[in-house]
Homo-oligomer: A and B are copies of this chain.
Amino acid sequence: MATRVETIENPTGWTDCPGFSCAATACDIRGTDKERLDLALLSGTGKLTAAGVFTTNDVCAAPVHLCREFLAVHSDRIGGIVVNSGNANACTGPGGMEDARAMAEVSTGACGVEGPFLVCSTGRIGRRLPMDKVLRGIRDAAGQLSTEPAAGRAAATAILTSDTRAKMATVRIHHGNKTFTVSGFAKGAGMIEPNMATMLAFLATDLEVSSDTLANVLRQATNRTFNRISIDGDMSTNDTVLLVANGASATLVDADASLLEAFASAVEQVCFVLADKIVADGEKITKVVELYVEGARDEISADKVARAIANSLLVKSSWYGSDPNWGRLLDAAGYARIGLIEDRVDCFYDDCPVLLAGVAQDENLALWKQIVQRRRFSIRLNLNLGDASVRLLTTDLSEAYVNFNKSE
């Protein structure tokens, strides 16, 4: 049976996916803007199976603890997801856990569904949620759940913090004469480093998928996409990616190898597009850099080199200044200490040689300068030590980033 995966134009988030509904409302969680959407409810018809991937930070927000607890027991039947922005409910102690539980319980009750609601929060760390506003917002939203595209877009907007735009992606799987969907939306902006980031992403599918398969597919997709981006090297307390299946298509994935492959590919594609949108909307960035480290002895050392470069303040500052400074790049690669051999290194800006066997190709200087002025360019570093490679998507560092983050 022919199977094809296709990314659609103008995605609207979960409402692209049959059998899912969304609502968003303005609760004034920040206390500074009564009109701003800051709470979203996501739900669906049928039996919802779910899987999650979470921050590996020792310091986890209350909703992350709660999601882990719920998924350990109820991954084959959740009620939906409730998300707020403006307050991370992190470092809030036992009271914060009670708040997260109350958000889940009130959501389940207000939506009249079976199974617990997963909870996500993003925003400022260390402050208790204004629970009266939040619970009122949940009850309001529950009455507005809708399958219309506008509701999907509103939910994608309500979860934003310092993002400048909503981030949505939808892929259709054409499998024989049937069509299935994987939809997603995300927020990012600051504290973005793999394993993951102040990053929330929510994926939905109308396929029927066991929670074990969801977990495997999501783990692999996340490792290849969201865990391969870095804006500022800071990993957050709240990072969460959730994948929910409602079985609305009445087509079971688990037993059909070719459909499973297509589904995994579709999930990865949605994650890939969302990860790219997160980086491109990084806090006060001016450039997106696709960094390829190739010819490493193994993937771990390729990753170390890529992260040393991507997290170097001196490298990021030079990108900001459109300075094709390969010296800082090579210096950073060197302090990853993977046994790099200087006179084997090739380096390219887009397709233009910068270093060949460690020797600078100075005659290309004018072209280097043109390339690093671009809004988006690639850097390819071949260590010529082995066959492993990684791709890491990263950004420059601007004065405006520092100014923006000097206080909250």
Give A contacts to B, CB under 8 Å.
56-60, 88, 90-91, 93, 124-126, 190-191, 193, 232-237, 311-314, 317-318, 320-323, 325-328, 330-343, 358-360, 397-408
Contact = CB atoms under 8 A, between A and B. Distances in A.
State the number of copies, please: 2
B234 A335 contact: yes
Given A126-B326, A126-B327, A318 B406 contact: yes
Given A58-B338, A59-B331, A343-B93, A314 B191 contact: yes
Contact of A236 (B59, B321, B331, B407): B331
Given A323-B406, A358-B93, A59 B234 contact: no
- Complex A-B, nearest 9 residue pairs according to Cβ-Cβ distance, in ascending order: A321-B406, A125-B327, A59-B334, A323-B407, A317-B405, A399-B399, A58-B340, A58-B334, A321-B407
A137 B159 CA distance: 63
A221 B407 CA distance: 37
B335 A91 contact: no
B59 A360 contact: no
A233 B191 contact: no
A351 to B, nearest CB: 21
Given A233-B313, A234-B332, A358-B91, A337 B57 contact: yes
Contacts of A402: 313, 317, 320, 397-399, 401-402
A88 to B, nearest CB: 8
A125 B91 contact: no
A337 B58 contact: yes
Given A233-B313, A317-B401, A320-B402, A331 B56 contact: no
A335 B340 CA distance: 27
Given A398-B402, A406-B323, A233 B190 contact: no
A340 B330 CA distance: 34
A313 B58 CA distance: 19
